[in-house]
Amino acid sequence: MAAKRSDYFAAGTQVVWDVDVIREGVIRAYRATAPDAPTVYDRRDRAEALPALPGFSFPVGDIFE
């Protein structure tokens, strides 16, 4: 997964979400500016995609219902 994220970042992608619906029930947001330090959102959070999508957020719990 890390190699794939590196490919995305090399292509200009700013944010990559890793949605773990089976094991942990979280979203990890990896950013090109800090590719080894994801922001982890659980079911109680709203995940966002800064800097790629200012103002966008998503209720994480909606994925896991």
In terms of pTM, does the model score above 0.85? Answer: yes
> Could you read off the pLDDT of 29-62 as tens digits, one per residue?
999 999 999 999 999 999 999 999 999 999 999 9
pLDDT at 60: 94
Angle at 42 between CA 59 and CA 65, to 5 degrees: 55
- Check residue 34 and give its pLDDT: 96
* CA 30 to each of CA 34, 40, 57: distance values in angstroms, whole numbers, following the listed order: 7, 9, 15
